[in-house]
Structure 1
Amino acid sequence: MASALDEDTQQSLAAGRESARAFLRSIQKDLQKVFVVFLLGFLATFWALRVYVWDFLRNVTQSNMSPDVAEAADVIATTPFEVILLQAKIGLIVGAIVAVPPLIYVARDELRARGMWPQSPVPRWKLAGIAILGFGLFGAGVAYGIYAFFPIMFSFLAGFGLEAGLQPTYSIVLWTEFIVFLSLSFGLAGQMPLLITGLSYAEIVPYETFRDKWRYAVVAIFVFGAVFSPPDPFTQLMWAFPLVALYGFSLYLAKLVVTAKRSSDRIDVVSAARNHWNVVGGAAVLGGGIAYAFYEYGGRTAVNDLLRAVDSDWRFLEPGAGLGVDPATAAALYAAAWALAFVVVATLWAVYTDLDTTSAGYQYGDPTAIDIGELDAAGVRAAPDDVFEQMDEPESLAHAQAALDEDNPEKAQAILDRFDAATPDEGDGDAGTDASAGAGGDTGGDGRSKGSGAAGGAGDDGLVGDVQNRTSRASSTFLSELTDGNEDEAEDDIGGYYTDLKFIFDSVRSKSFVILAVFGAVMATAFTWLYLGGLATVRNDLERRVPAEIEGGINIITLHPVEALIFMVKFSVLLGIVAVFPVVLYHAWPALRERGFVAGRIYQVYLWIGALGAGLVGGFALGYAYVAPGLIGWLVTDARLADMVITYQVSDFLWLVIYTTIGIGFLADIPIAMILLNNAGVPYRVFRERWREVTIGIMLFAAVFTPADVITMLLATVPLMAAYGVGIGVLFVVTFGGRRDLSPPAEFVSR
C-alpha cells in the first residue's frame, strides 16, 4: 500500500504521525485529568438519568394530560438492554462534551507553539459575553419547549391516539430522542438573534437580505411547524409565533449592530441618552412602576390564580421569599432592577436613533451606503449615480423584483431606468425604454415617467415582462456554456432530450396553480378525514373482521409520539400525488404529442383517467373486501394459536392495510397502463426487451417506499414484477405477438 504513494506524500504522512506523537507525549501527563473529567461526566449523566431525568421527562409528558389519558399513556422498553444502552450512549456523549474544554485547556501551549491557537482580534470579554448570550438564548429555547410546548403537545398526541383506538405506548428510545431533538431545535432556534446579527455584522449575509426575505422566513417557520408539530392550530401557533417574534427581534438587533458598525465613529452613548433623556427617563419609570405594581397591586395574585386555573405547578412567590429580605425592600430592589433593564433598552434605542438619522450616504459622503430597499420611487430617482454604478445586473433585478413583490411597479421601473442610465455597458437601455413604453408612457431626461401607466394597470405587464426578460438574459449562458457556446448543437450535446423536457415542463408550469390547488385540496381533505375519525373508522372496521376466537382483538400502539400523524401526512401526500396525476397528464398531453412522446388526441387522456381510475378503484374494493381482512385474520389467528399477545405498531399495521387495498389497485393498473402506453405509441418490444431496467426501477421503488428490510422489499417487488409479467402477456395477445401494435411507435422510441 505504501508503494502506491509517492515519496512526498509518504514524507508528509510520516511528519504528521511524528507531530501527533509529539503532541500526545507533551500532554500525556494531563490526559489522565481529562479522562477523569470524562468519567465523571459519564457517571453523573448515567446516575442522573436513572434517578431524576426519566421521572422528570415523564412528568413533563403527562403534566397537561387528563387523568384518563395519563393513565393510558406509557413508556416501554422493546429490548432487554434498551434502557441501559440508552443511558450509556447519552452518558458517553455528555462525558465527551464535558471533556473537550479541559482537553483544549491542557493543550493550549502545544497548540500555540504549532500555530494552531486562534489569534482573535476580539477582546476576551466580548467573546465571553457572546458565549454567555448564546448559552442564555439556548437555555431559554429549551425551557420554552419543556415547560410550555411539550405538555400541551403530548396531551394532544395521547388524546388523539386514544380517540383513534391507538394505545399511546412510547418506546423509551424514540420518546427520548423526540424530546431531546425537539428541545435542541428550540435551543438552536433561540440562537437566531445571535446568528442573524453575526452574519450581518461580518457581511457574510447582508442585513438587507434578511430584511427583504422576511416573508420567506415566516412561511418557512409555519411550514416547519406544520410538519414537525401536531396539526391542531393552537400547537402550531405556539411553535410559529415565538419564532416569528424572535425573527423580528433578530432583524432589529442586526439593524442596530450594522448601523453602529457603519457609523462607529459617531457613537456617543452619553450624548444619545442626553438627547433623548425624556424617553430614557420614561423607560426607567415604566419598568420600575410595572415591577412594583405587579407585586404591590394584585398582579402577582392574578397571575397565580390564572396558573392555578390551568393546573400549573408554577407560582410567583412573595418578593424576597427565600432571600432573607423583607417584602417591601425586595419589591423596591425588583423595581430598580427592571428600571435598569428598561434604561439599557431605551439607551440602545437612543443610540440607534441618532445613528439612523445621520448615517445616510449624503451625511457620510458615501453614496453607496444608501439602502435602495428603504427608498420610494422618488427617492430612487433622486439617489446619486454612484449607487447604481456599484450595482451589477442581478442586484438591480433583485431590487426591482422586491419592489414588484411589494406591489410598487413605479419604484421597480425607476430602479431599472437608473441602472440602465448609470451602467450603459451592463444595462439594456432599450429594454428599460420598452418597459416604460409598455407601462403606458415614455420617460423624460430625469427618469420620471410622463405617463401614468407605470404605476399600475396595463403597465405592470410591460414591467414584469422586462424583469423576466432581463432575468432570462442573465441566466441564458448556462446552456451555451454546457455546449461550448454552440446553442444549435445543445440538443445533441445533452442527449437529445433537454429541449423536449423543457418544452413539456413549461407547458405544465403555466398550470402550476391548478395542479397545486388540486394536490392541496385532496391532501387536506384526506388528512382532515383521517384526523376527524377516519383512522379510527378503518381500524375498528378491520378489527371487527378478526375471527371470533381471537379474544380482545388487536392492540395497536404508537411507539413514537407522532407516528400516527406522520402516517396520516404520508398517506395524504400519496393520495394527492395520485389525484394530481390526471391533471398533469391533461395539461402535458399536447406538448407530449407535439414532441413525439405519445400519439393520439386529447380525448386519450379521458381514456387513461377512466381506465386507470377503474383499475385502482376495483383493485381497492377487492383488497378491502377480501385480501386485507383475510391476510390480517390469518396473521392474528396464527399469532393467537401460538399463545402470543397481539400488539402491532400503528405504522406497520396501517401500511399493511394500504398494501393490501390500494396496493391491489396499483397492481391492477400496471397491465392497464402498459396497454394504454402501447396505444400511445410505446411498442410491445420495448416492454419485452426492457424488463431488466423495469426490475431495477421496481427494486429502487420498493427500497424507498417499504420498511428497511430485505424480506419486505421482496414482498413488494415480486407482486409488482408479476403484474408486469401479466401486462406483457396481455400485450402479447392484444398485439398478436408484437406484429400489430395498437398505435404506430412514437418518435422518441426511434431516437
Structure 2
Amino acid sequence: MSSALDEDTRETLDAGRETAGAMLRAAQKDLQKVFIFFLVGFLGTFYALRLYIWDFLKRITRAQMSAQVDGEVSIIAQTPFDVILLQAKIGLVVGVVLALPAFIYFSRDALKERGLWPSSPVPVWQLALILLAMATLFVLGVAYGYFVFFPFTFAFLAQNAIAAGFSPTYSIVKWAQFIFLLTASFGLASQLPLVMTGLSYAEIVPYETFRDKWRHAVVGVFAVGAMFTPPDPFTQIMWAIPVLALYGVSLYLAKVVTTARRGSEKMDVKASVRAHWNAIAGVGVLGGALVYAFFEYGGVGYVNDALAMIGSDYVVYAPSSLAVLGGYALLAALAGAVVAVGYFVYYDLDDLAIVEAGVGDPSAIDLADLDAAGVRAAPPEVFESMSEDEVMAAAGDALDAGEKEKARTIVDRFDAVDAAAGDGEDTEGGSEDAAESDASGSGSQSAAGGRSATGSIGDRATRAGNAFFDAFRGDSDASPAADDGTGGDDADGTVAIADEEDDIGGYYTDLQFILESVTSNAFRLVGVFMLVLAGTFGWLYTGGIKRVYEDFLSRLPAQVTPDEVLNVVALHPMEALVFEVKFSTIVAAIVTAPLLAYYAWPALRERDIVRHRRRAVFVWTGTLAVGLLGGFVLGYTTIAPTVISWLVNDAVLANMVIAYRITNFFWLIFFTTAGIGLLADVPILMILLNSTGVGYRTMRGRWREVTVGVLAFAAVFTPADVLTMFLVTIPLMVAYGIGLGVLFVLTLGGRRDLSPARGADV
C-alpha cells in the first residue's frame, strides 16, 4: 500500500503519527481530566435522550404535518436493542466532541514543539470572544434547523411517501441519525464563516492556506459526508454541496478580514467614505426604499399567502403606525450604508495591497490577486522569480476559477520573460560565447522553431500550456504530435507506442480520444439526460409510481390478496425520494446512451473500434430496444408476479406480518421486469460489438474488466448492501457467459468473427 503513495503523502502520514504520539505523551498526566469531560458528555446525553429529547424530536417531526399525514407516520424499533444502542452511540459522539478540546489543550506543549500552536500570542479575551461567537452561531443554526427546516422537511417527505402509496414507518435508528446528522450539519455550517475568518485574522491559519488548499477541503468534505451520512451517494452530495458553498463564502470573508488586518495601518475610513459617498448614500436610500415599498405595497400579504400555501402557521405583521414604518426604513437605510462603507473600505485596502506588493520587491506580487489585464501589466520580475511548475499551477488555478484568458496570459508572459532572459544572456556572452551558443542551440532551433537553448524552459511552458488548454477545450484534433515542439519522436518511441495498442495504455488513449470527440456535444447530451431525468422524476413524484404499483398488484394471482403486499414502508425519511431519483437516473442514462453512441461513432470509426457507418446506431438502438422491451414484457407479465406471489405465499404460510421496505420491494420488481430485458440485451450487445470488429477472444480475455465494471454499476445504482450487489452482478455475468457461448458458436471458436477485428490478438 505504501508504494501507491507519493513521498509527500508518506511524510505527511509519518508526521501525523509522530504528532499524535507526542500529544498522547504530553497529555498523559491529564488524561483523567479529559476522561471526565468525556464522561459528562456521554452520561448527560444518554439520560437527556431518555428523559426529554425523544419526545421533543417527535413533536418537531410532526409539527407541520396535517392530521391525515400525522396519522400515517410511525416510528418503530426494528430490534430490541435499537433504542439503547442508539442512545449509547450518540452519547459516545458527544463525549468525544467535549473531550477533544480538553485533550488538545493539555497536549499543547507537544504542538508548540512542532510549530503547530499559534506563533503569535492571542489574548485570552479574543479566544473567549471567538468561542462565545461560535457557540452562539451553533445554537442559532440548530434552532433554525429544528424550528424551521425540520418541520417542513419531514412534512414534505412524509407526504411524498404517502402520495406514492408507501407507509412512512421510520426506523428509530435511521430517523434519529438523519436528524442528528442534519443538526451537526447546521451547527457546522453556521459557524464555518466565523471559524475561518477568526483563524485567518489571528494568523493561526493564514488565509492563503484556506485559499490554496481548497481542493483538499473539497475532498475532506466529501470524505466526511461518506463517513457520517446514510450510505447513499445522493444524500452525501446533498450534505456536501451546502457545506462547500459556505466554504466559498467563508473564504471571501477570510480574505476581507485578512486584508483589513494587514492593511490596518493604511486604513482610512474617512477617505473611503469621502471617495464613495454618493454610492454609499445610494445604497442606504435604496435599502430604506425597498423596506418601505415592501410594507406599503402589499409585500406582507404576499409573504403571508406564500406561508399559508406551504402550510405554515407563521404570520408577518405590518407596522402599526407610520412612525414605526419610518423607523424600519431608517434602520434598513443605515444597515445598507454600513454594508456599503465596509465594502468600499475593503475595496480600497485590496487595491492598495496589490499596488504596494510590488513597491521595492515586484516579485512579491501575487498573481491570484490580478486579473488578465493585471497579469499583462505586471513587471517581469514577477515571472523571473517563478519556476515552470509554479507558473503552471497559477494557470491551473485561473482555469479552475473560470478565467481562461488570465491563465493563457500567465503562460505567455512567463514564456516571453524567459525568452528575453535567454536573448540577453546570448548578447552579453561575447563572440566566443555566442558561437558556442549557436553551436549548442542549432539543434534546438531546428526542433523548436528557431529558439535558443536558454529559452527551452519557456518553450516547454508554452507547449505544456497549449496541451493544457487543448485538453480543457476538448479539441478533438489535439494530438501528442501537435503539442510536441520537437517535430516528432524517435522511431523507437513510435514502435513502442504501436506495440502497446492492446494494453491498458492503448485502451486509455482510445477512451480519451472518444471522450474529447463528444465534448462539443456535451451540452446536448447533458440537456437530454436532465430533461429525461426531470420528466421521469416529476411523473413518479406526482403519483406515477403509485399507478404502476397498483397496476402491478392487479396482475398478481388471485390467491395473493392486495392487502398482503400493500404494506410497503419507508424506514428512512428520504427513502422514497432517493428511490425516485435513482430510478429516474437509470431511465435517463438508458435514453441518453443511443445519443451518446451517435455522437461518438465517428471517433470510434477513426480509432478502428467499429467498422460500420453511423447509421448503424439506429440498428443498434432498435435491436437493443426490442430486447429490452421484450424482456420487460416477459418479466412484468410473468416472472415478477410469479416471484412476488411465491414470496408472499411463503410469508403468509409462516404467519408473518408482511412489511416490505421500499428499496427492496421496488428494486425486486425492477430486477424481475426491466432487469430481464437488460439481461437479454447483454448477448445481443456482444453480437453487435463482434459485428463491428470487437473480437470474440478480446471479449473472453477482458472478462475481469467487465466484472469490475458491473460491480461498480451495481454499487451505484442498487441498494447499498453487498448481497444486492452480487444479486445484480451474478446474473449479468451469467448473461455475459451466455453471450460468449453464443459467439463461440457464431464465430467458430473465434476463428472467424462476424467482422474483421482490430488488433493482432483477435
Q: For residues 509 and 628 of structure 1, what CA distance do their matches in structure 2 show? A: 42
Question: Residue in 1 aligned with 2:476?
Answer: none
Is the partner of 1:183 in helix, strand or coil?
Answer: helix
Aligned pairs for 1:286-365 (under 5 A) are 348=342, 351-352=345-346, 355-356=349-350, 358-361=352-355, 365=359
Moved more, 637-646 or 338-347: 338-347
Question: Residue in 2 aligned with 1:544?
Answer: 554
Is the partner of 1:266 in helix, strand or coil?
Answer: coil
Which segments of 5 or more consecutive residues in structure 1 lack a partner in the other structure? 1-14, 211-216, 218-223, 318-333, 429-463
Question: Residue in 1 aligned with 2:117?
Answer: 118
Is the partner of 2:64 in helix, strand or coil?
Answer: coil
Question: Residue in 2 aligned with 1:6?
Answer: none
Q: Deviations over 1:487-515 (max 9, x none)?
A: 53455579755456435533443333233
Q: For residues 108 and 705 of structure 1, what CA distance do their matches in structure 2 show? A: 46
Letter in 1 for 2:419: P
Q: Residues 204, 169 of structure 1: CA spacing in aligned structure 2 closer, same or farther, 3 A cutoff?
A: same
Q: For residues 572 and 698 of structure 1, what CA distance do their matches in structure 2 show? A: 19
Q: Residues 621, 114 of structure 1: CA spacing in aligned structure 2 closer, same or farther, 3 A cutoff?
A: same
Identical-pair percentage: 44
Q: Residues 687, 372 of structure 1: CA spacing in aligned structure 2 closer, same or farther, 3 A cutoff?
A: closer
Of 574, 579, 583, 2:586 maps to 574
Instruction: Give the drift of 1:345.
Output: 6.5
Instruction: Give the drift of 1:157.
Output: 1.0
Question: Residue in 2 aligned with 1:394?
Answer: 392
Instruction: Give the drift of 1:158.
Output: 0.9
Aligned residues: 661
Is the partner of 2:79 in helix, strand or coil?
Answer: coil
Q: For residues 257 and 122 of structure 1, what CA distance do their matches in structure 2 show? A: 18
Is the partner of 1:535 in helix, strand or coil?
Answer: helix
Letter in 2 for 1:121: S
Question: Residue in 1 aligned with 2:640?
Answer: 628
Provide TM-score, normalisation by structure 1.
Answer: 0.70
Question: Residue in 2 aligned with 1:150?
Answer: 150
2:52 aligned with 1:52: yes
Instruction: Give the drift of 1:87.
Output: 0.5
Of 691, 703, 727, 1:679 maps to 691
Question: Residue in 1 aligned with 2:682?
Answer: 670
Aligned pairs for 1:425-574 (under 5 A) are 468=466, 471=469, 488=494, 489-490=496-497, 492=499, 496=503, 498=505, 501-512=508-519, 513=522, 514-549=524-559, 550=561, 552-553=563-564, 554-574=566-586
Aligned pairs for 1:602-751 (under 5 A) are 602-685=614-697, 706-707=718-719, 712-713=724-725, 715-736=727-748, 738=750, 740-747=752-759, 749-750=761-762
Q: For residues 379 and 725 of structure 1, what CA distance do their matches in structure 2 show? A: 62
Q: Residues 90, 25 of structure 1: CA spacing in aligned structure 2 closer, same or farther, 3 A cutoff?
A: closer
Is the partner of 2:153 in helix, strand or coil?
Answer: helix
2:422 aligned with 1:424: no
Letter in 1 for 2:49: L
Q: Is the 8 A contact 1:667 1:723 kept in 2?
A: yes
Of 194, 204, 208, 2:208 maps to 204
Letter in 1 for 2:64: N
Provide TM-score, normalisation by structure 2.
Answer: 0.69
Q: Residues 64, 472 of structure 1: CA spacing in aligned structure 2 closer, same or farther, 3 A cutoff?
A: same
Moved more, 112-121 or 272-281: 272-281
Moved more, 698-707 or 173-182: 698-707
Q: For residues 315 and 149 of structure 2, what CA distance do their matches in structure 1 show? A: 18
Letter in 2 for 1:49: L
Question: Residue in 1 aligned with 2:440?
Answer: none
Letter in 1 for 2:693: G
Q: Residues 573, 109 of structure 1: CA spacing in aligned structure 2 closer, same or farther, 3 A cutoff?
A: closer
Q: Is the 8 A contact 1:207 1:254 kept in 2?
A: no
Which segments of 5 or more consecutive residues in structure 2 lack a partner in the other structure? 1-17, 215-220, 222-228, 318-327, 424-461, 473-478
Q: Is the 8 A contact 2:108 2:117 kept in 1?
A: no
Q: Is the 8 A contact 1:597 1:747 kept in 2?
A: no
Q: For residues 749 and 712 of structure 2, what CA distance do their matches in structure 1 show? A: 30
Instruction: Give the drift of 1:52.
Output: 1.7
Q: Is the 8 A contact 2:200 2:257 kept in 1?
A: no
Q: For residues 27 and 262 of structure 1, what CA distance do their matches in structure 2 show? A: 38
Aligned pairs for 1:27-426 (under 5 A) are 27=30, 31=32, 34-103=34-103, 107=106, 118=117, 120-124=119-123, 125-194=125-194, 197=197, 198=199, 202-205=206-209, 250=250, 253-267=253-267, 348=342, 351-352=345-346, 355-356=349-350, 358-361=352-355, 365=359, 384-386=379-381, 389=384, 393-394=391-392, 397=395, 421-424=416-419
Instruction: Give the drift of 1:167.
Output: 1.0
Instruction: Give the drift of 1:145.
Output: 2.3
